[in-house]
Amino acid sequence: MKTLSDLQAVIEDNSSFFATDKSIVREKKIPLSIKPVVVVAGVRRCGKSILLQSSLTKKSNRLYLNFEDTRLEGFEFSDFNKIEQIAKENKTKYIIFDEIQAIEGWEKFVRSLHDKGYHVFVTGSNASMLSRELGTRLTGRYLQAELFPFSYNEFLSFRKAKPEPSTFREYLNSGGFPEFLMDGNPEYLRTLLKDIVVRDIVVRRGIRNEHVILRLAMFLMSNVGKEISYNNISRVLEIKSVRTTIDYCDYLTESYLFDFVPMYSRSIKKQIANPKKVYSIDTGMVRANSLSFSEDLGRMLENTVYLHLRRNSNEVFYFRDDRTECDFLTKKLDQITGAVQVCWQLTEDNLRRELSGLKAAMDATKTKNGVIVTFDQEDHFDGIKAIPVWKWLKTKK
């Protein structure tokens, strides 16, 4: 339990920090003219609080509380009433709660604030904040948004650079975590990975052997773009239970570190039974934490393309039949909307394979939208367009 004066001190310090101008422009916008609670979820340090800060610059009288402030250890549900008291005394209707997911029952208090006319903004680093369960707790009172590290467009804006092969190579190497882009020290991304695993998974889930899940995270970082099976992971990492491996991978997904992409099939059972492909939230984090010493530009390009598709579609699949493969299919409203093949450089040796896989995916799903994304090649092959990634990322929405 916290005293009123303790909370006032923390809120004053947090709100003062929140008011600091950081001037980082994001593509995602937060609407302020609507009434629902705004829930922003995403991986740690991707800029969630700064997004809200830039959206609320014209709202000078606002209350901001970061629940990762160590002075809030021991915060209880009953302490929320004191926050409301402080808001009343400050005559503010705009309240921002940062990283609130660890406080049991926070949804009830947020719903109560909303019903009383407050504009409430919430951030968190766990995908469960965007789950159906949250929808039932807030019963239609909220608007959800996901935030990722910088896209290529945001990276260009941050660097004040132009879209071209050299800037894309820089983006591929560095990724999009804002703080890393400011100093470029890879140790930041190594520490961040450990911090996410320990704070969002180990502590939250009560896991005793944190080194096991850390090894798993680094193993997955080393295998982005590859098909993985839980049985194989369990054997390689000597994890005794396959169920434990599945759970750990689920926890890593909830923390936004990885996505596991299923093979496309109209049968849910086949989707579950077939291997999944793994992708990381950030290519810079892959480079900093991968156990592999080889520079696989093709898989890094594939990871970047996946992240762009994921920003615009919650459902992404890979395609495979008996003879061919295609890297990505996107789905919206139960309809396959496009097929994307990724290849660093098209050559006489791989062109037929890449075209065959793309066309097979298009034929199987009845989509007419197909493209090959390359590093820096632009051409047409048998009715299929190949486009440089640094152009595709600028035009594809």
One-character DSSP codes across 326-394: EEEEEEETTEEEEEEEE-SS--TTTHHHHHHHHHHHHHHHT---EEEEESS--EEETTEEEEEHHHHHH
- CB neighbour list of residue 378: distance below 8 Å, 6 or more residues apart: 386, 387, 388, 391
CA-nearest of 356, 227, 268 to 339 is 356
For the record, the structure tokens of 371 come out as 């493209």
Neighbour-count burial for 75-99, b at 16+ CB within 10 Å, e otherwise: beeebbebbbebbeebebbbbbbbb
pLDDT, position 138? 82
Q: How far apart are CA 106 and CA 80, in angstroms?
A: 8
pLDDT, position 322? 94
- Dihedral angle over CA of 107, 112, 114, 116, nearest 10: -170
For the record, the structure tokens of 253 come out as 């997904």
Q: Are 281 and 150 in contact (CB under 8 A)?
A: no
Which H/E stretch holds residue 90? helix 80-90
Q: How far apart are CA 377 and CA 283, in angstroms?
A: 21
Angle in degrees, CA 230, 234, 240, rounded to 5: 130
Question: Which residue's structure tokens are 């949804």?
Answer: 107
pLDDT, position 141? 77
Phi/psi at 192 (5° precision): -65, -45
Task: Report the relative pairing of strands 94-98 and 142-146 from DSSP bridges.
Answer: unpaired
Domain boundaries, the chain: 4-146, 152-395
Instruction: Provide the whole-model pTM.
Output: 0.94
pLDDT, position 313? 78
pLDDT, position 135? 67
Q: What would the pLDDT profile of 352-387 be if each residue is shown by its tens digit?
A: 999 999 999 999 999 999 999 999 999 999 899 999
Q: How far apart are CA 289 and CA 106, in angstroms?
A: 34
pLDDT, position 395? 72
Query: Position 335: which residue type?
Result: Q
Question: Which CATH architecture best describes the domain 4-146?
Answer: 3-Layer(aba) Sandwich (3.40)
The sign of the dihedral angle between the CA atoms of 23, 26, 29, 30 is negative
Q: pLDDT of the chain along its 397 residues, tens only?
A: 899 999 999 999 998 878 766 667 789 888 776 678 999 999 999 999 999 988 887 777 899 999 999 999 999 999 999 999 999 999 999 999 999 988 989 999 999 999 999 999 999 998 877 765 576 678 777 888 899 999 999 999 999 999 999 999 999 999 999 999 999 999 999 999 999 999 999 999 999 999 999 999 999 999 999 999 999 999 999 999 999 999 999 999 999 999 999 999 988 888 888 999 999 999 999 999 998 766 789 999 999 999 999 998 779 999 999 999 999 999 998 899 999 999 999 999 999 999 999 999 999 999 999 999 999 999 999 899 999 999 999 875 5
Q: How far apart are CA 40 and CA 120, in angstroms?
A: 11
pLDDT, position 110? 93
pLDDT, position 294? 67
Rg over CA atoms, the chain: 22
For the record, the structure tokens of 372 come out as 């090959």
pLDDT, position 24? 76
pLDDT, position 22? 62
